[in-house]
Amino acid sequence: MSGTFLLPVLAGCASVASVDAAPDAANPLCAEMMVVLPEAIDDAERRSTTSQATSAWGDPSKVVLRCGVEVPGPTTDPCVSVNDVDWVANEDEESGIWTLTTYGRTPATEVVLDPNVIPSSTVLATLSDAAQKIPASKKCVSVDKSVNL
């Protein structure tokens, strides 16, 4: 009889994404953001992760988020603004993977994605409400609207 109850539980299990916590993951503002993260981005469902103030969507992960990363200082990297949230964009030229970090918000939030797998515009638009839970104290001086993420 117990086997019939195990099957539905096991069928609903998704793998846990291994994500390292950021140095300031215990910041209370990260907790405020984490509780309002969306359950899905595009067709990627949110799943459990191994560390505090992290999240992942898709299995395998299409989007990985970490709150509490180092706050970016002045940079020549492109900055894009989506729904009043500024993001500094950095592309790994070898892999094509993008790391986008909130600018002007402490603690900073980092989002890693492959724009060939999931559109960055969809990801950033979906995450902007949650990212705004961490107040902005600065804005990018120059927002690059031509960046093709």
Q: Which among 137, 96, 148, 117 has a CA at the least distance from the CA of 42?
A: 117
Which whole-number Å values give the CA distances from 53 to 33, 49, 78, 124, in the listed order? 9, 9, 25, 17
Residue 116 within a domain: yes
Tokens 């894009």 belong to: 80
What is d(CA 142, CA 65) in angstroms, rounded to the nearest whole number?
24
Which residue ranges of the chain lie beneath pLDDT 50?
1-12, 145-147
Q: Determine phi and psi for 50, rounding to 5 degrees.
A: -90, -5
Tens digit of each residue's pLDDT (9 = 90 or more) over 134-148: 999 999 887 654 445
Residue 32 belongs to domain spanning? 14-131
Residue 119 within a domain: yes
Residue 62 within a domain: yes
Residue 141 within a domain: no
What domain count does the chain have? 1
pTM value is 0.86
